[in-house]
Amino acid sequence: MKYLFITTTVILIASCSSPDKSRQLQIQTDSLSSKLHNIYKPGFGEFMGNVQLHHAKLWFAGTNNNWRLADYEVQEMQEALANIQKYCTDRPESQVVDVLYPAIDSINNAIKNQSLQSFKSSYTLLTRTCNDCHKSTGHDFNVIITPTTVPVTDQDFKVKSPL
């Protein structure tokens, strides 16, 4: 009985490692690898455009004391920055995104304390940090400012009473 079990196990292992099966598995692996390599992922510029949009919306949310929206916008910025570090590893700029986190932490504290004065100074710090990062990575032609008009016309940034 013991020998029958060992013999069966050896035959099963041998059949699983046949050259044909190994070749088929390799073909499948190569095919899936090719598909993954060619799948769309946003580029660095698309991610940064997303950060810029949330940066602008953050300003209008905060200056209208809409702290829930401000919190949402800053979280969206952080998500986009994390995605840059995850999906754009081939870009050297991705390695310096961390420089923004202290300024974002400052904004998060201002939002938590619902302090407009602290929010404005933290937002200025974030904007300055963005521009310093652009300079250090050779993108000083891309200057970020405090927005003067709302970035989208189909959103109200004022706080609304609950329905």
CATH assignment of the domain containing 99: 1.20.120.290
Q: What was the pLDDT predicted at 163?
A: 46
Residue 26: its pLDDT value, please?
77
Radius of gyration from C-alpha coordinates of the chain: 26
Domain assignment of residue 6, yes or no: no
Q: What is the pLDDT of residue 13?
A: 58
- Measured in degrees and rounded to the nearest 5, phi and psi for residue 135 equal -65, -45
Structural domains in the chain (count): 1
pLDDT value at position 60?
A: 97
In a domain, residue 91? The reply is: yes
Q: State the pLDDT at residue 77.
A: 97
Q: pLDDT truncated to tens, each residue of the chain (163 aa)?
A: 555 455 555 555 555 556 777 788 777 787 777 777 778 888 899 999 999 999 999 999 999 999 999 999 999 999 999 999 999 999 999 999 999 999 999 999 999 999 999 999 999 999 999 999 999 999 999 999 999 998 888 888 898 766 4
Q: Within a domain: residue 114?
A: yes
Separation CA 159–CA 67 (nearest Å):
8
Q: Using a cut of 0.85, tell me whether the model's pTM lies above it.
A: no
Q: What is the domain range of residue 64? A: 44-136
